[in-house]
Structure 1
Amino acid sequence: MGTIKTYTINHGPTWWECQVAIDHSFIVKVPVPESDQPEDWTMEKTMREMIMHWTGGAGWLKENDGDITKTFLQQLAAEIQQIQCENNYTLEGVIEEFVNREGWWPMDGSCGVQILEVEDFEFLMNEYEVMEEQQL
């Protein structure tokens, strides 16, 4: 049994939340070019590589005082929200989307990370404020 920790990530301005479990003892087998033997990466190294894959990753990590887990989860939560907004997906759709999402691995637990819950977004027309601008 691994070292599994569960995290809740909250987006303060919208009160949106998701819940993610990470098996911190999980070893990821990474293919090595021109080799038959994959390289073993710890979960921490894997999350760091995911962060650094994106432009701005080093800055995000620095903003979080080098906290790899926090930075990874913030990045993941933002990606989940983007997927939900683009596609109106619930939990199942979000998890399925990550199977082939560029820069990510599956988030179904098979690679050490599992999205457990996501709050649904609901955009109600009456929540949008319309303001007429003054003509110059």
Structure 2
Amino acid sequence: MVYFEDLEIGQTAAFGRYEVTREEVLAFAAAYDPQPFHLSDEAAAQTHFGRISASGWHTCAMTMRMLVDNITELRQAGLGSPGLDELRWLKPVYPGDVLRVESALLSKRQSQSRPEMGSFQSSVKVYNQDNVTVMTMQSIGLIRVRGY
């Protein structure tokens, strides 16, 4: 199990592999972000996207899946997250893209009011199969302190 004490500022990780499908892009857009360029080839062709692209929120959801798979594999004593900062969608994500994640631990601190937990901040970058950065964010995670 990975606890607060095991985290080292500066440590990096590379993980995940998520294949973006047209069916999933359309289904997510229909349910949560029904803008024409996420749903229609014709409408998308008239925009700077040029073709159907995934919603930025869908990119976040795919990234979350890769993050959760990674912390599950590491057996991290995670306690959720109070949010994130500096979310940026830098390039469109298209059906057929294959996404992956790289992260770097920027800071950590133990809670003064709840000493059984700590928080950490990570820089998260999402890349496509051409190693183009498609999304960045700063993630804030909560994690259990060993012995509590």
- TM-score after normalising by structure 1: 0.28
Q: Which has the higher contact order (CA 8 A, sep 6+)?
A: 2
- TM-score after normalising by structure 2: 0.27
Larger relative strand fraction: 2
